[in-house]
Structure 1
Amino acid sequence: MQPEDNQVPLLSDQDSDDDVAQGSGEKIHVIRMNEPGAEGSLGAVPPFSWKRLWLFTGPGFLMSIAFLDPGNLEGDLQAGAIAGYSLLWLLMWATAMGLLVQLLAARLGVVTGKHLAELCSEEYPTWAGMVLWVMTELALIGADIQEVIGSAIAIKILSNGTFPLWAGVLITACDCFIFLFLENYGVRKLEAFFAVLIATMAISFAWMFGETKPSGTELLLGILVPKLSSKTIKQAVGVVGCIIMPHNVFLHSALVQSREIDRNKKARVQEALNYYSIESAAALIVSFIINLFVTTVFAKAFYNTEIASSIGLVNAGQYLEEKYGGGLIPILYIWAIGLLAAGQSSTITGTYAGQFIMVGFLKLRLKKWLRALITRSCAIIPTIIVALIFDTSERTLDVLNEWLNVLQSIQIPFALIPLLCLVSKEQIMGAFKIGNVLKTVAWLVTVLVIVINGYLLLDFFSSVVTGLVFTSMVSAFTGAYLAFIIYLVSQGRHIKSRD
């Protein structure tokens, strides 16, 4: 089957762009029209163009936000404080693994014209699709709670405690209106807004890097020389575990469809894949550098100190302030500004991801404002409850964060396995199915990530599971969980396009 057969028609005039996740009227037109050398020689991919790269730039940077959310920042600071510079090599390779997964998600979206949630709904039986939807929604809610709490902590710091955690949650809830406002003015305006937030994070954490002056030599050694000890296993698992976010895989497969390409022509599809690969790699290099700033700042400030193991998002800024004091701008507020940018950007992309997931799995046709309100409420309501319960205790917030990390770790196979099964099938991808080498590497990465997160789950539950009833419940859930993973792998071998 040729890629031409995979073309998905654009919405007809009768379809309302306001009822779907991304209508034809919202797409950026990048189809070449009578451009010199547009078709290349004999249908070959045209030569590289900076102008074309600029037209395709955007989705990768929105995707990269998930690598910079408050959960990742907490993993960075804890890795730095407890393991020093020794896990920087792992951060680099974890980011590379994340890039591989995201490129496969982009490939799926570009070639098929559908995103992962839509394809899961079409290619799996209804009951399996519903289970995948529930799991994906749980992962999204867990990530969103962490992101909203991160924003609320930043607001509390910047307001000198005037706004308690629950008030910060309500303020953060309003970001869906920013999202709707910007989306009405086009995809490019939304992407520009995220570029500003990423730049804010980069400047804030680079400023902190300059204030604390980490060792350049130790930084380079940490990146180039792999080190791992029994004392840093938990932090190492955290570094890898928080890089791949289930909802982000679904999101990226949808974001790449914001550019309208001619899927009837193989060269046009390959061109889009090339440009998306370049901009996604650039975006994740930026995210890696920002994560590097955070890790090294806390490595310099707190490694081998008595308080290293007690640092989290809530008290990190205060500890920095006590150690480094004021300056032109107090480091406490620099940290809070970066954290706020991370929280706000990730909650808005979470809203965006939630819409694609809801429309894809449930085939709902809703107005944008209602879709965003429902998606936002799924996270905001439980987050407000969490904020009211945990506002007075840093320790309970840390415990909550551990549970949320577990929740997201559990969901990872339900994004990666369907993705790999779909991009490996000629019936779905045509000539753009992944080859045997890439397929082997991708499955090895998937197994590695699942095993690493499995270790995290085993370590966590071995310390909290007590009593016959609770143990029986966890055992039953584990059995059903493993059975469903086996089902997804076996079912993936029999996927056939229904088009």
Structure 2
Amino acid sequence: MGFSFRKLWAFSGPGFLMSIAYLDPGNIESDLQSGAKAGFKLLWVLLGATIIGLLLQRLSARLGVVTGMHLAEVCHRQYPTLAIIGSDMQEVIGCAIAFHLLSSGRIPLWGGVLITIVDTFVFLFLDKYAFFGLLITIMAVTFGYEYVMVRPDQGELLKGMFVPYCEGCGPVQLQQAVGIVGAVIMPHNIYLHSALVKSRDVDRSNKKDVKEANKYFFIESSIALLVSFLINVFVVAVFAEAFSGQTNAEVFAVCNASGSPNSHLFPMDNQTLQVDIYKGGVVLGCFFGSAALYIWAVGILAAGQSSTMTGTYSGQFGFLNLRWSRFARVLLTRSLALTPTLLVAIFQDIQRLTGMNDFLNVLQSLQLPFALIPILTFTSMPSLMSDFANGLSFKVGGGLLVVGVCCINMYFVVVYVTALNSVWLYILASVLSVAYLMFVGYLAWLCLIGLGVSGLDRCSRKRNDTTVLIEQQQEFDS
């Protein structure tokens, strides 16, 4: 079975749509903070997290190709009482901040949220992969422009990318490394990819066709994540070269001299510069001119808009199994995500709004086991995956990988909670943590032990009506 560019093109689309989640405003903020706090030293963590993400996306795509069902459908059939919560508040916040920057503060945050709500519905019903390609291109051009303008040290960049080290790093850099993993590997993307691959017709009764589809989807995903990785590197490198080690006082002096109306964001002290996607744009404008600020804002807008739309797609492939029209499903899932974002934007200022990203990353981290444990388990079941089930080495390696990623994310949650300095929050977090860990343990037992002989038999029986389910779903979607 040789390689064909024509076939690769035929299978292209789902992987690039999936890769947009690796470029959402939460990732961009993690990138710029990594560069500002640790320079180039954590690029190897970003590379490793992206590779791990690729392996997990491979499992997700294989599940969709082989079974004809996405992960939420399989979970619903195995565990009808379980549910999962998704949120794309970070993406909407990113769009609102971008509109705020582009309008020089004339568009309030709540106004940016309203614009995002409207244009998300409009763009979503275009339903064209080409539009997502355009948004990725905009991100590549805008963040690439910042990269060329700053001209980072290529030697330090390559060293940071391929040499696992962090000389002189402390707790701040360690927390940032954990944050990178948490920002890159997200639960909703595992669910989304397994659904997107169903958009391509594959004869699942033909082993050769299934194998070919798996191959081309993996190639496409690899290319897509390479592009997203390079864009993330652009952001890290810009802030590593230009702002690593800068103090608030130094940045204030430059912003004040440039006549920036936002110099008040940086107090007159010698504390290390703390940046987010809003302050990042302001700092770029102070050091490299207003063009750099507006180009940054356009890139953030593209990132937020594209990620909001993929979040909208993710919301349609959930556990509710609603037999509603597409518009009704989109209206429900977006209302659940966008309404709280709008309320927060109305009653909070720009500082508190951008600071919510850490809290939202914690929520994403808590949801991660409910995606990683099922995807590894289901793709390891011969009764479900037939000849395409994971081998022993991948089961063991994948299991260790899932445990490692979940532990890293739980550490991120612990660091966030302990930084709040509240006894009552400690007590509440402890109680919730016990309940949460018991539930995760139950899920792990149910997946890895409960799906023994009886589970496999049950899955085998349910697989017989898979074709009927697919046909019913396709008829409904059309």
Equivalent residue, structure 1, for 2:375: 419
Question: Given residue 349 of structure 1, which amino acid in structure 2 is its aligned partner?
Answer: T
Q: What does 1:55-204 correspond to in 2, within 5 Å? A: 55-124=10-79, 126-127=80-81, 129=82, 133=83, 136-137=84-85, 140-141=86-87, 144-183=88-127, 190-204=128-142
> Percentage identity across aligned positions?
49
**1:421–1:489: 8 Å Cα contact kept in structure 2?**
no
Tell me which of 466, 485, 494 is aligned to 2:422: 466
How far is the alpha carbon of 1:180 from its aligned partner? Answer: 4.2
Partners in 2 of 1:74 and 1:245 — Cα distance? 15
| TM-score, normalised relative to structure 1 | 0.84
Task: Note the residue ranges of structure 1 that are not aligned, 5 or more in a row.
Answer: 1-45, 184-189
How far is the alpha carbon of 1:393 from its aligned partner? Answer: 4.3
Equivalent residue, structure 1, for 2:330: 372
- CA distance 1:281–1:157, change in 2 (3 Å): same
Question: Given residue 119 of structure 1, which amino acid in structure 2 is its aligned partner?
Answer: V
The DSSP-based 3-state class of the residue aligned with 1:261 is coil
Partners in 1 of 2:121 and 2:441 — Cα distance? 41
Tell me which of 435, 442, 451 is aligned to 2:391: 435
Partners in 1 of 2:116 and 2:40 — Cα distance? 33
1:72-117 deviations in Å (ceiling 9; x for gaps): 0000000000100001111111100000011100011100000000
**1:151–1:169: 8 Å Cα contact kept in structure 2?**
yes
**1:115–1:254: 8 Å Cα contact kept in structure 2?**
yes
Equivalent residue, structure 1, for 2:157: 219
How far is the alpha carbon of 1:177 from its aligned partner? Answer: 2.3
Asked if 1:260 corresponds to 2:224, the answer is no
How far is the alpha carbon of 1:486 from its aligned partner? Answer: 1.2
Asked if 1:51 corresponds to 2:12, the answer is no
Asked if 1:249 corresponds to 2:204, the answer is no
Question: Given residue 169 of structure 1, which amino acid in structure 2 is its aligned partner?
Answer: V
How far is the alpha carbon of 1:346 from its aligned partner? Answer: 0.2
Number of corresponding residues: 428
Asked if 1:304 corresponds to 2:239, the answer is no
Asked if 1:350 corresponds to 2:311, the answer is yes
**1:78–1:309: 8 Å Cα contact kept in structure 2?**
no
Equivalent residue, structure 1, for 2:278: 314
Asked if 1:277 corresponds to 2:191, the answer is no
How far is the alpha carbon of 1:477 from its aligned partner? Answer: 1.3
Q: Calculate the aligned-residue CA RMSD, in Å.
A: 1.3
Asked if 1:457 corresponds to 2:413, the answer is yes
Tell me which of 326, 342, 351 is aligned to 1:384: 342
| TM-score, normalised relative to structure 2 | 0.87
- CA distance 1:202–1:317, change in 2 (3 Å): same
Partners in 1 of 2:282 and 2:122 — Cα distance? 30
**1:180–1:369: 8 Å Cα contact kept in structure 2?**
no
Task: Note the residue ranges of structure 2 that are not aligned, 5 or more in a row.
Answer: 249-271, 464-478
How far is the alpha carbon of 1:176 from its aligned partner? Answer: 3.3
Partners in 1 of 2:149 and 2:4 — Cα distance? 39
Question: Structure 1 stretch 265-274 or stretch 478-487: which is displaced more?
Answer: 478-487
Partners in 2 of 1:325 and 1:102 — Cα distance? 39
The DSSP-based 3-state class of the residue aligned with 1:464 is coil
Structure 1 segments of 4+ aligned residues over 4 angstroms from their partners: none
Question: Given residue 435 of structure 2, which amino acid in structure 1 is its aligned partner?
Answer: A
Partners in 2 of 1:257 and 1:440 — Cα distance? 28
- CA distance 1:80–1:180, change in 2 (3 Å): closer
The DSSP-based 3-state class of the residue aligned with 2:307 is helix
Question: Given residue 122 of structure 2, which amino acid in structure 1 is its aligned partner?
Answer: I
**2:120–2:305: 8 Å Cα contact kept in structure 1?**
no
Partners in 2 of 1:233 and 1:262 — Cα distance? 47
**2:109–2:350: 8 Å Cα contact kept in structure 1?**
no
- CA distance 1:482–1:114, change in 2 (3 Å): same
How far is the alpha carbon of 1:265 from its aligned partner? Answer: 0.5
The DSSP-based 3-state class of the residue aligned with 1:273 is helix
How far is the alpha carbon of 1:225 from its aligned partner? Answer: 1.3
Question: Given residue 62 of structure 2, which amino acid in structure 1 is its aligned partner?
Answer: R
**2:93–2:354: 8 Å Cα contact kept in structure 1?**
no
